[in-house]
Amino acid sequence: MPLVRIDLVRGRRPDEVRAVADATHRALVEVLGIPERDRFQIVTEHEGDHVVALDAGLGFTRTDRLVMIQIFTQKGRTTQVKQRLFRAVAQRLGTLGIGGEDVFVSVVENGPQDWSFGFGRAQYTEGALPVPGR
């Protein structure tokens, strides 16, 4: 059920873009236990000067391999689970040659009433879909 936005600096080949999306999804399946077909991703490429991502004072430099990921998901996951997710995403992207300094992940939580999967209906609220984790 997570909705994932992936922002990249333009310049990757289509297969590289797909590999980033696939690696991110694999981490979600592995750590959050979501179904394989529960995949909602939006990948956007930007000109390099349209992305600003400093180090928050941590003392490292990012490159044009930057991947910024926002994961919109239902509330209720523990800090430990989120940390495992951050590590899993970074490890999977690392296998694609993306260094840890270039992996930025944010989790945004909401509730079942905040989702509509189509037809103008709130499927979780109406009971058409089971609420994850309940």
pLDDT in tens, 23-81: 999 999 999 999 999 999 999 999 999 999 999 999 999 999 999 999 999 999 999 99
- CATH H-level superfamily of 3-126: Macrophage Migration Inhibitory Factor (3.30.429.10)
DSSP string, 57-90: TSS----TT-EEEEEEEES---HHHHHHHHHHHH
Token code pair at residue 22: 């696939």
How long is the chain? 134
pLDDT of 132: 77
**Which entry of 2, 14, 130, 132 is annotated as an active-site residue?**
2
φ, ψ dihedrals at 42, nearest 5°: -125, 120
The residues spanned by each domain of the chain are: 3-126
pTM for this prediction: 0.93
Q: Give the CA distances from residue 101 to residues 28, 74, 79, 86, 90, in Å, rounded to whole numbers and listed in that order.
A: 20, 27, 21, 13, 9
Q: 28: closest CA among 65, 67, 1?
A: 1
Q: Is 49 exposed, middle or buried (0-12, 13-18, 19+ CB in 10 A)?
A: exposed
14 is catalytic: no
pLDDT tens-digit profile of 67-121? 999 999 999 999 999 999 999 999 999 999 999 999 999 999 999 999 999 999 9
